[in-house]
């Protein structure tokens, strides 16, 4: 058991002045009944923190509070630490029958080894071993659960990433033994299971000689870059979100895009894990701006102040989530943009879900097209015929 | 040992901690509070459950239908004839063609009981306080009926020789035959109402004497039996002018002396029309009714008016008498004036204004005045007379029906002025409730505000209403010489009544007829409702299960119950509570955790019972489960993305304990070949479980109310925990009692198969089976096939070779 005092020291929660600035930023505090500041003042001796379980589990861990904290309290880490200590029964029922958590737990146990890569299609070139790898994540699983209902094809994100990388002359390594990154388990307090996943994933990628790992998911990116090194010190590849990788190669590389035409106005939703937690704000905007005919407009609350999409991973979904999604979609629509672009498949699913629900219930839905950055860029790619001829076909 | 939790509802009771169920529990009426009763039921002033008895008649269950009527109406035969039927006015069948002839249906079932011997008295008389009811009209009889049913000794004091009040002396025989009235009064005397006829309170018995005799409360239900005099010069002295009510009383007492010449009736109420039709029957040459307002403002019932017109009675509207024209002793004519209408008066109707110079003659040999009625309080002591209002009616607190005198209540026409029989019955109910409350609590109860009537059309019409040939009320018999006072309205025959009742559109939820409770075929658990089931005290219900459980249930989420003798069959001995144990009972219903609900509406799509609605606006909307409609199938729980819909029947602990059972008490199966887990609905699991358990080393059955509750997460979890195979087995859509269970479970199984395949598992190890073969072994075959595939030829723990 970790000592509460140790946790407070480690996350600087012990320095909290109870000034309340965190609550001014907290999206949940606006709905009432949730006080970030008050949670800082949990002083109970070890073992009695479960009195605060409801509040601790309700936190979105979006990190908006940390932006304004004068004391540098690492609030999200504090909450995550508390969740490890809290008894299992206080954990929230995970959405969708906990199907993703169950899948992750299963993968962690090593009962299965590897994943089906049937999402790959002709014309996409990937490698068995090499320097640069693509971490696919749970995209194929999302299609099973949401594909028909939300009319999404999440594996298209992975395909798009490969397409873009191929255009840059890179055949990314796709690792068959890849497992769920474990983000949701880590953030709901299942540290031990998470550690198994961290070990399994790092081992698999190390064996393939990967030195540079790309993700299309903000949460996978954060997990690999910030969380895995705490559990696996021996192997630490360079981890980048694909938008960062692309942004570095926009100048003088062989990427050329079609003109967006009339649908060029777009706005960007900063995923909490990518923006505030990894500090990646500019890269996705640079990629968007590089698309011919594009105009990037900003929503109210963007960048470091960006409002969470309402559901971190698939950890919790409730009335708060719905309110946040509705607000966010309304802000996006208010910019007049025709597209809301995001760089996290989960943000995309959550927003699409809110839109679908509005239609289901015949409510006024925010009419804006929600797109993934990787898919958008790849869809506009002008394929260099010469390059295609030279590139090897699918392995 | 803490009391086991028993969950009940939707047809089963279930003890927590074990998967065994008490099947076919008849708790159906339990969650059925009249949330939105049918318009007819809402419209009945007396609260008769109209829809219930119409439904029962449609099924040919006439005696039960009559019982339903008698719940709220002591005079079914009377109401079946002379009620002005507000229920029919709002009947939605009227929007299709003609409303159901509800009144005639009631008459039909009431008539079947006319010749029956009076019933045995109700056994329950457990209260000391006696109640005196003064007057035996519908209000008095109803109050007496309710109070006697609640256990109070009741005596009805009637000034006349026979009971019935206005029903006997004001309503004519051709509308209400005397044998019907006599039989209903005999029924009431039979169940235990005491009648003291020929006893006029104030003359033959003083109020003080009644107190001395132990009558702690008195209800004055003396009616409005005194006709108001015609305010025309010379009317009192003129032999040709008579009070219509006095005339009717004579006729109804059997005086059939002929009426000669031209008769003019003045007034527009029921009394005027009755008197006119009686005069016609007694031989009058012509009968005219003069009324100072419009036809639309006639107070008499529309059907009566039309019957009168069809018999040849002429109505003259906007006319008022001003003078009697007398030749010698004999009345010659009436001088009348035309009337215009002025500003609306207190009743909301425009007040008549005489037009000067418009005088004209109406020839008349006899005038019957029916221009208003007042309470006849002759012989009443001064303290009662002090309670009389300026319009000569008794003054009461309208909320409590108590007069200014402690313990003296009043109800019916004596308070309201002349009204309809069903209004009098409603007033009787209110007074009885107030008196009971007064006797128990020392002060009368306050009547609850009548609920607002929903617009009848808010109910959607069924796609194809059960249309049969247009019917209405049976036609009237025409007047025949020698049988003038025979009943004019023809009754329904049995076939006609059933056919008519089948036209009912069955608006609203269950009709709450409750006939299912005592007649439950399997007699597992019956629900007994408290005696004197007034809507206000509906909540506690006694459940009795011969050979199993008896418990007191409220409609709250859970309550305590006690086991009675002969309990505990069908329950595992280790969890079955023993006699006298306290058991917690909670209805099987889905509950919505509001803060978890994102108002997505998916549950509404899957609910087979239309029990879920969204309340609130936009992002703040939440799902709401209507407990009276929810049957606990839990299909919504499987589809709910946020776990806001919580199954009450299968809690997390239940699932956890079943998992522990399935994996032999360990969190996960340790050996490579874990158990085959069968998730089955109760219907399919029940009969084959013993066979399956022969393979107990390998097979675990987890029962669901409906396998539509299973979601992909559960299946992956079972697989993760080491189930070697998972089989979901339920009923085909056409046989699923929740309709969509199979469809939903199939989808979830397909989803789990794809997930497992993506994760590198063998997807054929999760299967579903929807065997149609009823006679055979619906689950056994696919499971045995699975066992063979999974375990090959290896013997199981018992050493047997699996097939």
Using one digit for the tens of pLDDT, what is the confidence trace for B121-164? 777 777 888 999 999 999 999 999 999 988 899 999 999 999 99
For domain B260-369, give the CATH number.
3.50.50.60
One domain for residues A100 and A82: no
Which candidate, B628, B718, B626, places its Cα nearest to that of B674? B718
A334-371 per-position pLDDT tens digit: 999 999 999 999 999 999 999 988 888 877 777 899 99
- Predicted confidence at residue B512, as pLDDT, reads 52
- Predicted confidence at residue B553, as pLDDT, reads 37
Q: What is the dihedral of CA B76, B78, B81, B86, to 10 degrees?
A: -70
Residue by residue, DSSP assigns B196-264 as: EET--BTTTB-HHHHHHTTEEEEEE-----EEPPP-STTTTT-TTEEEHHHHHHHHHTT------SEEE
One domain for residues A372 and A275: yes
Separation CA B361–CA B333 (nearest Å)? 6
> With 0-12 CB in 10 A as exposed, 13-18 as middle and 19+ as buried, what is B590?
buried
Does the structure show a pLDDT above 50 at B542? no
Average pLDDT, chain A: 87
Q: Taking the CA of residue B133 as centre, how many other CA atoms within 13 Å lie in the half-sphere pointing to its CB?
A: 35
Does the structure show a pLDDT above 50 at B24? no
Stated as kind and residue range, the H or E segment containing B643 is none
Residues of B in contact with A102 (CB under 8 A): 713, 716-717, 720
- Predicted confidence at residue B383, as pLDDT, reads 81
Instruction: Kindly state whether residue A256 falls inside one of the protein's structural domains.
Output: no
- Given an 8 Å threshold on Cβ–Cβ distance, is B599 in contact with A319? yes
Q: Which two tokens stand for residue A188?
A: 């709901």
B327-361 per-position pLDDT tens digit: 887 888 999 999 888 888 777 778 888 888 889 99
One domain for residues A246 and A130: yes
Q: Which two tokens stand for residue B723?
A: 């189930």
What is the separation, in whole angstroms, between the first and last Cα of chain B? 43
Question: Do A296 and A270 meet the contact criterion of CB atoms below 8 Å apart?
Answer: no
Specify the 3-state DSSP secondary structure of B800.
coil
Average pLDDT, chain B: 75
Query: What backbone torsions phi and psi does residue A135 show, to the nearest 5 degrees?
Result: -90, 115
Q: Does B740 touch chain A (CB under 8 A)?
A: no
- Predicted confidence at residue A349, as pLDDT, reads 95
Q: What is the mean pLDDT of residues B575-591?
A: 49
Test the A interface: residue of B607, B713, B747, B748 with most A CBs within 10 Å: B713
Separation CA B370–CA B224 (nearest Å)? 12
One domain for residues A64 and A155: no
Q: Give me the interface pTM, i.e. the ipTM.
A: 0.88
Q: Domain end: A90, A110, A125, which one?
A: A90
What are the residue ranges spanned by the domains of chain B? 5-33+513-587, 40-50+58-113+460-502, 130-225+375-441, 260-369, 591-646, 652-791
Query: What backbone torsions phi and psi does residue B158 show, to the nearest 5 degrees?
Result: -125, 130
Cα angle B397, B399, B402; round to 5: 40
Residue of B nearest to A98 (CA): B713
Q: What is the mean pLDDT of residues B563-585?
A: 37
Q: Does B619 touch chain A (CB under 8 A)?
A: yes
* Predicted confidence band of residue A4 (pLDDT cuts 50, 70, 90): confident
Which candidate, A305, A309, A287, places its Cα nearest to that of A354? A309
Which candidate, A317, A313, A335, A325, places its Cα nearest to that of A355? A325
Test the B interface: residue of A28, A97, A140, A149 with most B CBs within 10 Å: A97
- Given an 8 Å threshold on Cβ–Cβ distance, is A321 in contact with B761? no
Residues of A in contact with B601 (CB under 8 A): 357, 360-361
Separation CA B143–CA B136 (nearest Å)? 10
Does the structure show a pLDDT above 60 at B212? yes
Residues of A in contact with B595 (CB under 8 A): 318-320
Does the structure show a pLDDT above 70 at A29? yes
Question: Do B777 and B688 meet the contact criterion of CB atoms below 8 Å apart?
Answer: yes
Residues of A in contact with B618 (CB under 8 A): 326, 363
One domain for residues A207 and A353: no
Query: What backbone torsions phi and psi does residue B623 show, to the nearest 5 degrees?
Result: -75, 145
Instruction: Kindly state whether residue A395 falls inside one of the protein's structural domains.
Output: no
Question: Do B791 and B802 meet the contact criterion of CB atoms below 8 Å apart?
Answer: yes
- Predicted confidence at residue B694, as pLDDT, reads 62
| Residue B97 to residues B44, B73, B360, B470, Cα–Cα distance (Å) | 21, 28, 44, 7
B588-638 per-position pLDDT tens digit: 567 888 888 888 888 998 888 788 988 887 777 889 887 656 767 888 888
B714-753 per-position pLDDT tens digit: 898 888 888 888 888 877 766 676 777 888 888 899 999 9
Rg (CA), chain A: 21
Does the structure show a pLDDT above 90 at A9? no
Does the structure show a pLDDT above 70 at A395? no
One domain for residues A42 and A122: no
Separation CA A371–CA A182 (nearest Å)? 24
- Predicted confidence at residue A269, as pLDDT, reads 96
Closest partner residue to B601 (CB to CB) among A319, A320, A360 is A360
Our CA-based measurement puts residue B599 at a distance from the nearest CA of chain A, in whole angstroms, of 7
What is the separation, in whole angstroms, between the first and last Cα of chain A? 48
- Predicted confidence at residue A5, as pLDDT, reads 80
Does the structure show a pLDDT above 60 at B546? no
- Given an 8 Å threshold on Cβ–Cβ distance, is B620 in contact with A141? no
Is the domain spanning B652-791 CATH 3.40.50? The answer is yes
Residue contacts between A and B (CB atoms, under 8 Å):
116
The superfamily CATH assigns to domain B130-225+375-441 is FAD/NAD(P)-binding domain (3.50.50.60)
One domain for residues A106 and A246: yes
Instruction: Kindly state whether residue A310 falls inside one of the protein's structural domains.
Output: yes
- Given an 8 Å threshold on Cβ–Cβ distance, is B760 in contact with A94? no
- Predicted confidence at residue B552, as pLDDT, reads 33
B424-478 per-position pLDDT tens digit: 999 999 999 999 989 888 777 776 655 555 444 445 555 444 555 455 666 677 7
- Predicted confidence at residue B455, as pLDDT, reads 41
B472-515 per-position pLDDT tens digit: 666 677 777 777 788 888 888 888 888 888 888 767 544 555 54
Question: Which DSSP letter does residue B289 get?
Answer: E
Test the B interface: residue of A28, A33, A58, A102 with most B CBs within 10 Å: A102
B152-182 per-position pLDDT tens digit: 999 999 999 999 999 999 999 999 999 999 9
Residue for token pair 């066979």: B691
Specify the 3-state DSSP secondary structure of B323.
strand
B372-430 per-position pLDDT tens digit: 898 888 778 888 888 888 888 888 888 888 888 888 999 999 998 889 999 999 999 99
- Predicted confidence at residue A55, as pLDDT, reads 83
One domain for residues A107 and A198: yes
Separation CA A215–CA A283 (nearest Å)? 14
Does the structure show a pLDDT above 80 at A386? no
- Predicted confidence at residue B500, as pLDDT, reads 87
Our CA-based measurement puts residue B680 at a distance from the nearest CA of chain A, in whole angstroms, of 18
Q: What is the mean pLDDT of residues B551-570?
A: 36
A199-258 per-position pLDDT tens digit: 999 999 999 999 999 999 999 999 999 999 999 999 999 999 999 999 998 877 678 888
A174-196 per-position pLDDT tens digit: 998 888 999 999 999 899 999 99
- Predicted confidence at residue B391, as pLDDT, reads 80
Which candidate, B123, B509, B586, B519, places its Cα nearest to that of B528? B519
- Given an 8 Å threshold on Cβ–Cβ distance, is A318 in contact with B711? no
One domain for residues A62 and A126: no
Test the B interface: residue of A140, A316, A319 with most B CBs within 10 Å: A319
Specify the 3-state DSSP secondary structure of B725.
strand
- Predicted confidence at residue B102, as pLDDT, reads 94
Instruction: Kindly state whether residue A62 falls inside one of the protein's structural domains.
Output: yes
Q: Does B621 touch chain A (CB under 8 A)?
A: yes
Tell me which of A5-9, A109-113, A223-227 is least confident. Answer: A109-113
Residues of B in contact with A93 (CB under 8 A): 596, 642-643
Instruction: Kindly state whether residue A158 falls inside one of the protein's structural domains.
Output: yes
Is-same-fold flag (B260-369; B652-791)? no
The two most distant CA atoms of chain B are separated, in Å, by: 123
- Given an 8 Å threshold on Cβ–Cβ distance, is A357 in contact with B760? no
- Predicted confidence at residue A174, as pLDDT, reads 92
One domain for residues A246 and A100: yes
For domain B591-646, give the CATH number.
3.30.70.20
Separation CA B507–CA B94 (nearest Å)? 13
- Predicted confidence at residue A267, as pLDDT, reads 95
Q: What is the mean pLDDT of residues B179-196?
A: 92
Closest partner residue to A318 (CB to CB) among B596, B601, B720 is B596
Separation CA A159–CA B132 (nearest Å)? 90
- Predicted confidence at residue A279, as pLDDT, reads 93
Our CA-based measurement puts residue A366 at a distance from the nearest CA of chain B, in whole angstroms, of 12
List, in sequence order, every residue forming a beta bridge with B366; answer none if it has no partner: B263
Separation CA B497–CA B316 (nearest Å)? 37
Residue for token pair 């937690």: A277
- Predicted confidence at residue A253, as pLDDT, reads 67
Residue of A nearest to B751 (CA): A144
Structural domain harbouring A75: 4-90
Written in H, E and C, the secondary structure of chain A is CCCHHHHHHHCCHHHCCCCCHHHHHCCCHHHCCCCHHHHHCCCCCCCCHHHHHHHHHHCCCCCHHHHHCCCCCCHHHHHHHHHHHCCHHHCCCCCHHHHHHHHHHHHHCCCCCCCCCCCCCCCCCCECCCCEEEECCCHHHHHHHHHHHHCCCCHHHHHHHHHHHHHCCCCCECCCCCCCCCHHHHHCCCHHHHHHHHHHHHHHHHHCCCCEEEECCHHHHHHHHHHHHHHCCCCCCEEEEHHHHHHHCCCCCCCCECCCHHHHEEEEECCCCCCCCCCCCHHHHHHHHHCCCCEEECCCCCHHHCCCCCCCCCCCCCHHHHHHHHHHHHHHHHCCCCEEEECCHHHHHHHHHHHHHHHHCCCCCCCCEEEEHHHHHHHHECCCHHHHHHCCCCC
Quote helix, strand, coil % in chain B, to nearest 5.
30, 20, 50
| CATH number for position A267 | 3.40.50
One domain for residues A117 and A228: yes
Number of domains in chain A: 3
Q: Taking the CA of residue B111 as centre, how many other CA atoms within 13 Å lie in the half-sphere pointing to its CB?
A: 17
Q: Domain end: A90, A117, A146, which one?
A: A90
The contacts of residue B510 (CB under 8 Å, 6+ apart) are: B28, B29, B32, B628
- Predicted confidence at residue A364, as pLDDT, reads 75
- Predicted confidence at residue B682, as pLDDT, reads 67
One domain for residues A240 and A266: no
Share of chain B above pLDDT 70, in %: 72
- Predicted confidence at residue B196, as pLDDT, reads 93
A43-62 per-position pLDDT tens digit: 655 556 667 788 888 889 99
């Amino acid at each position: 058991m970790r000592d509460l005092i140790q946790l407070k020291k480690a996350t600087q929660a012990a320095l909290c002045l109870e000034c309340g600035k965190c609550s001014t930023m907290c999206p949940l505090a606006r709905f009432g009944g949730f006080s970030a500041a008050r949670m800082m003042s949990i002083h109970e001796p070890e073992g009695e923190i479960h009195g605060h379980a409801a509040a601790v589990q309700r936190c979105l861990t979006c990190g908006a509070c940390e932006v304004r904290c004068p004391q540098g309290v690492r609030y999200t880490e504090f909450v995550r630490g508390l969740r490890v200590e809290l008894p299992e029964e206080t954990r929230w029922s995970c959405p969708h029958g906990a199907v993703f958590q169950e899948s992750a737990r299963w993968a962690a146990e090593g009962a299965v080894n590897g994943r089906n890569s049937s999402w790959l299609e002709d014309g996409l070139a990937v490698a068995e071993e090499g320097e640069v790898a693509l971490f696919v994540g749970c995209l194929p699983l999302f299609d099973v659960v949401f594909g028909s209902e939300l009319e999404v094809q999440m594996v298209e994100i992975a395909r798009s990433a490969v397409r873009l990388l191929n255009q840059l002359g890179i055949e990314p390594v796709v690792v068959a033994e890849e497992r769920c990154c474990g983000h949701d388990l880590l953030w709901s307090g299942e540290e031990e299971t998470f550690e198994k996943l961290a070990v399994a994933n790092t081992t698999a990628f190390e064996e393939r000689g990967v030195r540079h790992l790309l993700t299309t998911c903000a949460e996978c990116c954060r997990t690999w870059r910030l969380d895995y090194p705490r559990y696996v010190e021996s192997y630490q590849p360079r981890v980048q979100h694909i938008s960062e990788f692309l942004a570095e190669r926009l100048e003088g590389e062989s990427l050329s895009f079609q003109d967006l035409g009339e649908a060029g106005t777009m706005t960007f939703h900063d995923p909490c894990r990518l923006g505030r937690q990894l500090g990646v704000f500019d890269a996705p905007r640079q990629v968007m701006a590089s698309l011919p005919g594009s105009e990037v407009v900003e929503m109210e609350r963007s960048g470091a102040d960006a409002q969470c999409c309402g559901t971190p991973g698939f950890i919790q979904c409730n009335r708060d989530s719905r309110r946040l999604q509705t607000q966010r979609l309304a802000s996006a629509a208010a910019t007049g943009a025709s597209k809301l672009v995001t760089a996290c498949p989960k943000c995309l699913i959550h927003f699409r879900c809110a839109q679908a629900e509005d239609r289901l219930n015949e409510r006024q839905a925010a009419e804006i097209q929600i797109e993934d950055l990787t898919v958008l860029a790849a869809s506009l790619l002008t394929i260099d015929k010469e390059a295609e001829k030279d590139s090897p076909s699918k392995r | 040992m803490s009391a086991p939790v028993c969950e009940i509802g939707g047809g089963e009771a279930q003890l927590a901690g074990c998967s065994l169920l008490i099947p076919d529990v008849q708790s159906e009426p339990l969650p059925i509070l009249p949330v939105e009763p049918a318009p007819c039921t809402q419209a009945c002033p007396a609260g008769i459950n109209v829809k219930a008895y119409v439904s029962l008649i449609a099924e040919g269950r006439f005696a039960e239908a009559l019982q339903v009527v008698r719940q709220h109406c002591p005079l079914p035969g009377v109401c079946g004839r002379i009620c002005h039927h507000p229920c029919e006015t709002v009947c939605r069948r009227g929007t299709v063609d003609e409303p159901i002839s509800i009144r005639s249906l009631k008459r039909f079932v009431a008539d079947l009981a006319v010749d029956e011997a009076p019933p045995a008295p109700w056994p329950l008389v457990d209260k000391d306080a006696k109640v005196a009811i003064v007057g035996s009209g519908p209000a008095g009889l109803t109050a007496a009926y309710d109070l006697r049913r609640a256990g109070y000794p009741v005596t009805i004091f009637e000034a006349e020789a026979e009971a019935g009040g206005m029903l006997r002396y004001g309503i004519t025989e051709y509308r209400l035959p005397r044998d019907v009235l006599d039989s209903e009064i005999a029924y009431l005397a039979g169940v235990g109402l005491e009648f003291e006829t020929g006893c006029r309170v104030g003359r033959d018995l003083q109020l003080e004497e009644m107190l001395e005799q132990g009558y702690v409360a008195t209800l004055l239900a003396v009616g409005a039996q005194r006709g108001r005099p015609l305010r025309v010069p010379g009317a009192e002295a003129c032999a040709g002018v008579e009070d219509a009510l006095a005339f009717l009383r004579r006729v109804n007492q059997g005086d059939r002396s002929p009426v000669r010449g031209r008769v003019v009736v003045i007034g527009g109420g029921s009394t005027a029309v009755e008197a006119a039709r009686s005069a016609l029957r007694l031989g009058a040459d012509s009968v005219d009714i003069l009324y100072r307002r419009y036809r639309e403002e006639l107070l008499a019932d529309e059907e009566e008016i039309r019957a009168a017109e069809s018999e040849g009675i002429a109505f003259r509207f906007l006319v008022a008498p001003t003078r009697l024209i007398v030749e010698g002793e004999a009345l010659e004519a009436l001088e009348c004036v035309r009337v215009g209408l002025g500003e609306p008066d207190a009743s909301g109707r425009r007040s008549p204004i005489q037009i000067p110079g418009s005088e004209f003659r109406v020839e008349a040999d006899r005038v019957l005045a029916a221009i208003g009625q007042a309470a006849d309080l002759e012989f009443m002591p001064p303290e009662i007379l002090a309670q009389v209002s300026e319009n000569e009616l008794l003054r009461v607190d309208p909320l409590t029906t108590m007069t200014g005198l402690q313990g003296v209540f009043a109800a019916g026409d004596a308070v309201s002025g002349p009204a309809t029989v069903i209004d009098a019955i409603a007033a009787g109910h209110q007074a009885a409730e107030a008196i009971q409350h007064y006797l128990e609590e020392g002060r009368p109860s306050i009547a609850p505000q009548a609920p607002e009537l929903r617009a009848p059309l808010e109910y959607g019409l069924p796609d194809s209403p059960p249309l049969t040939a247009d019917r209405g009320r049976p036609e009237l018999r025409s007047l025949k010489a020698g049988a003038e006072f025979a009943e004019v309205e023809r009754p329904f025959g049995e076939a006609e009544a059933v056919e008519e009742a089948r036209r009912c559109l069955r608006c609203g939820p269950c009709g709450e007829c409750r006939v299912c409770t005592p007649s439950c075929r399997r007699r597992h658990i019956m629900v007994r409702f408290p005696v004197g089931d007034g809507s206000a005290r509906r909540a506690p219900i006694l459940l009795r299960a011969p050979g199993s459980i008896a418990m007191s249930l409220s409609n709250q989420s859970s309550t305590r119950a006690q086991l009675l003798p002969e309990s505990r069959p069908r329950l595992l001995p280790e969890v079955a509570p023993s006699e006298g144990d306290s058991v917690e009972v909670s209805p099987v219903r889905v509950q919505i955790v509001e803060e978890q609900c994102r108002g997505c509406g998916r549950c509404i799509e899957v609910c087979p019972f239309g029990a879920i609605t969204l309340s609130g606006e936009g992002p703040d909307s939440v799902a709401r489960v209507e407990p009276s409609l929810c049957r606990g199938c839990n299909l919504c729980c499987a589809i709910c993305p946020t776990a806001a819909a919580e199954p009450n029947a299968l809690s997390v602990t239940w699932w956890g304990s079943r998992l522990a059972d399935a994996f032999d008490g360990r969190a996960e199966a340790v050996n490579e070949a874990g158990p085959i887990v069968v998730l089955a609905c109760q219907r399919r699991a029940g009969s084959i479980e013993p066979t399956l358990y022969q393979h107990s080393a390998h097979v675990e059955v987890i029962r669901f109310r409906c396998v539509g509750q299973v979601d992909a997460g559960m299946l992956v979890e079972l697989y993760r925990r080491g189930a070697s195979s998972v089989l979901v087995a339920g009923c085909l859509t056409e046989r699923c009692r929740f309709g969509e269970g199979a469809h939903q479970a199939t989808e979830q199984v397909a989803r789990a198969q794809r997930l497992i395949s993506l994760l590198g598992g063998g997807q054929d190890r999760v299967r579903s089976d929807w065997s149609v073969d009823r006679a055979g072994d619906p689950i056994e075959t696919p499971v045995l096939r699975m066992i063979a595939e999974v375990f090959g030829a290896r013997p199981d723990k018992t050493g047997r070779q699996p097939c």
